[in-house]
Chain A
Amino acid sequence: MSETAQQDRVRPWRFADWFVRHGRMLVIGLPMLWLMIFFLAPFFVVFKISVSELAIARPPYLPLTSWEDGKLILTLNLGNFQYLIEDSLYVSSYLTSIRIAFFSTIFALLLGYPMAYVIARSTGHRRNILLMLVMLPFWTSFLLRVYAWIGILKANGVINNFLMWTGVIDSPIVMMQTDFATYVGIVYTYLPFMILPLYANLAKLDTTLLEASSDLGARPLTTFLTITLPLSIPGIVAGSMLVFIPAIGEFVVPTLLGGPDTLMIGRVLWSEFFNNRDWPVASAVAMAMLVLLVLPVMWLRRAQSQQEAG
């Protein structure tokens, strides 16, 4: 025993030895440290700047603490939040965001559920190919896919050209720069996020239950409503939240497809930051958006842990 201890002592320091002893800590520590610095810490910075005062300086806000007559003074400016509540622009952009995200989620669910159901019920190669077809648009540029809709929806775009050619309409329908175009863009962008968790849920569904139900004489619709639908609720919640949460903060779709009055929070934050250079108000908008997202995120996590538990 003492001999090996002595050997240990005389052996020169080697990284391999050190790694065996402390490797676990290093492996945990590396990603932990990265995420703490670049994911967690930024939120504290946003909070700090949301309670600071706008200034014509570089960076454009005043420090929270100052030193005067030997006193350390901490100034928390709640004016930015007050401003958000009092100015009707922010309140209405909040309501617009919630409305658009909510209805987009409903539309994505109505379109995505049958797709997930059909994929889950197909087998072998067919299932793999259908799944890949759902995933493939997700791999191609999101910006360019949203851009494609401009060419389809605009006054002399694909749809209007076709309808005028067939003689259904005489003058083009206005679709671009409307809420309609925004809904189309958001449903289009986030549809795979709805389909994939629903698929994962429906594929695991115990099909003997369905057979039992039809053996006992239930019609397909009854079986669907009493067995499939209730059992797929965790998938519905997970998919819906995966659409709703990012849709709330969506910037690209309302900017490219929506009209000037399609004001969503993401767009307001962007213009406060880039056009008005009002960092404190932009930070306050971000904080308010985070508060709005707490409940959906908790709901998502619960649905996901239910899914995992099966």
Chain B
Amino acid sequence: MQKTGFFMRFITVLGFVFLYAPILSLVIYSFNESRLVTVWGGFSTKWYGELLKDPQILSAAWISLKIAFTSASIALVLGTLTALVLVRFGRFRLRELLNGMITAPLVMPEVITGLSLLLLFVVMESWLGWPSQRGFTTIVIAHTTFCMAFVAVIIESRLSDMDESIEEAAGDLGARPVRVFFDITLPTIAPALVSAWLLAFTLSLDDLVIASFVSGPGSSTLPMVVFSKVRLGVSPDVNALATIMIGAIGLGVVIATILLLRQEKRAE
């Protein structure tokens, strides 16, 4: 194995500092007593208290969690079906169309996705009378559509790495495709399903642009509330919120990684 040069390693260290310095500064200043976010006024946890007393943030957080849970779950089903179809079903008519439609949302600028879905909902409302108002349902549909693309990518790569001979053996022994799927395929790809669901959940929780287009009155999500606060300048309670979210997600990812590594070791 060739050694990497000093220059390459130096840039790498610089890159990781660049990635983590902002996150670190968010966490540090969330414990700042002073209202002036970047002037250190002593250690304090008062912004966490303020945050828990803010009804607007709390209700937005609850709405966001409900939306993220629902859309991640629907996206998991639809994304897994798409991956299964693309990897295992061989050639069929419209395969290329499905492949294109599932990869395009990954790179589509959010403003276009948001605008186009909103216009669709408006047209559907005038033609079919549904959805009669925008809010929870329309945001869930929008989030499901872009999250299922990410789910499909993860499951697709897992399915193509998987040893197909076990599935074939089960089929040869007379198991029907549905049974093979539930008894063999699903348990094998379970870790990938977990990480796909988690990714879909965080993507939905994080989305500002698409939700802003398709939401309605009374259904402001957490990023929408944060954005309107942040637009007016830095505010210490947003730092506290960021620290809570970073802590929760960081912990979740670390635990998931440890569990996956342990499972891999056991499999070996």
**B203 CB, nearest partner CB in chain A, Å:** 9
CB of B139 closer than 8 Å to a CB of A? no
Query: Which residues of B in the span 148-168 have a Cβ within 8 Å of any Cβ on A?
Result: 148
Complex Cα–Cα for A130 and B21 (A):
16
Of the residues B16, B98, B104, contact of A31 by C-beta under 8 Å: B98
Chain A residues whose CB sits within 8 angstroms of the CB of B261 once the complex forms? 128
Chain B residues whose CB sits within 8 angstroms of the CB of A137 once the complex forms? 19-20, 23
* Contact across chains for B101 and A36 when beta carbons are under 8 A apart: yes
Chain B: number of interface residues, binned into ranges: 35 or more
Chain B residues whose CB sits within 8 angstroms of the CB of A154 once the complex forms? 38, 234
CB of B145 closer than 8 Å to a CB of A? yes
* Contact across chains for A152 and B20 when beta carbons are under 8 A apart: no
CB of A13 closer than 8 Å to a CB of B? no
Chain A residues at the B interface, C-beta cutoff of 8 Å = 19-20, 23-24, 27-28, 30-32, 34-43, 45-46, 48-49, 59, 111-112, 114-115, 117-119, 121, 123, 128, 132-137, 139-145, 147-152, 154, 156-158, 161, 188, 191, 207, 210-211, 214, 220, 223, 241-242, 245-246, 248-252, 255-256, 266, 269-270, 273-274, 279, 282-283, 286, 289-290, 293, 297, 300-301
16 A-B pairs with C-beta separation under 8 A: A23-B178, A31-B81, A31-B82, A31-B85, A38-B141, A42-B116, A45-B116, A118-B4, A128-B261, A133-B16, A137-B19, A137-B23, A141-B223, A154-B38, A220-B2, A286-B111
A156's nearest neighbour on chain B, judged by CB, is B38
Complex Cα–Cα for A269 and B116 (A):
12
Of the residues A46, A191, A210, contact of B119 by C-beta under 8 Å: A46
* Contact across chains for B115 and A282 when beta carbons are under 8 A apart: yes
B24's nearest neighbour on chain A, judged by CB, is A148
CB of B230 closer than 8 Å to a CB of A? yes
CB of B249 closer than 8 Å to a CB of A? yes
Complex Cα–Cα for A308 and B19 (A):
29
Chain A residues whose CB sits within 8 angstroms of the CB of B81 once the complex forms? 27, 30-31
Query: Which residues of B in the span 203-251 have a Cβ within 8 Å of any Cβ on A?
Result: 205-206, 208-209, 212-213, 223, 226-227, 230-231, 233-234, 238-239, 241-242, 245-246, 249-250
Chain B residues whose CB sits within 8 angstroms of the CB of A241 once the complex forms? 107
Complex Cα–Cα for A282 and B116 (A):
10
Q: Mark B121-159, 1 if CB is under 8 A from A, else 0.
A: 011001000000000000001101100100000000000
B142's nearest neighbour on chain A, judged by CB, is A38
CB of B173 closer than 8 Å to a CB of A? no
Complex Cα–Cα for A251 and B110 (A):
8
* Contact across chains for A246 and B109 when beta carbons are under 8 A apart: yes
B107's nearest neighbour on chain A, judged by CB, is A245
Of the residues B15, B178, B242, contact of A148 by C-beta under 8 Å: B242
Top-10 shortest CB links A-B: A249-B109, A42-B116, A148-B22, A114-B11, A144-B242, A35-B101, A42-B120, A31-B82, A114-B8, A118-B12
Sample of 14 further A-B pairs with CB below 8 A, known A117-B8, A118-B8: A20-B178, A28-B92, A38-B142, A42-B120, A59-B126, A115-B15, A118-B4, A141-B245, A150-B230, A154-B38, A210-B2, A249-B110, A252-B208, A273-B213
Chain A residues whose CB sits within 8 angstroms of the CB of B257 once the complex forms? 132
Chain B interface SS verdict (over half): helix
Complex Cα–Cα for A210 and B162 (A):
31
Complex Cα–Cα for A157 and B230 (A):
15
CB of B56 closer than 8 Å to a CB of A? no
CB of B51 closer than 8 Å to a CB of A? no
Query: Which residues of B in the span 40-77 have a Cβ within 8 Å of any Cβ on A?
Result: none
* Contact across chains for A270 and B111 when beta carbons are under 8 A apart: yes
**A136 CB, nearest partner CB in chain B, Å:** 6
Q: A245-B107, A266-B109 are in contact. Are A207 and B2 (CB under 8 A)?
A: yes
Q: A147-B238, A151-B25 are in contact. Are A207 and B78 (CB under 8 A)?
A: no
Complex Cα–Cα for A154 and B178 (A):
58
Chain A residues whose CB sits within 8 angstroms of the CB of B22 once the complex forms? 145, 148-149, 151-152, 188
Complex Cα–Cα for A188 and B16 (A):
11
A137's nearest neighbour on chain B, judged by CB, is B19
Of the residues B7, B11, B37, B97, contact of A115 by C-beta under 8 Å: B11
Q: A59-B122, A152-B22, A279-B119 are in contact. Are A245 and B2 (CB under 8 A)?
A: no
* Contact across chains for B116 and A286 when beta carbons are under 8 A apart: yes
CB of B259 closer than 8 Å to a CB of A? no
* Contact across chains for A144 and B245 when beta carbons are under 8 A apart: yes
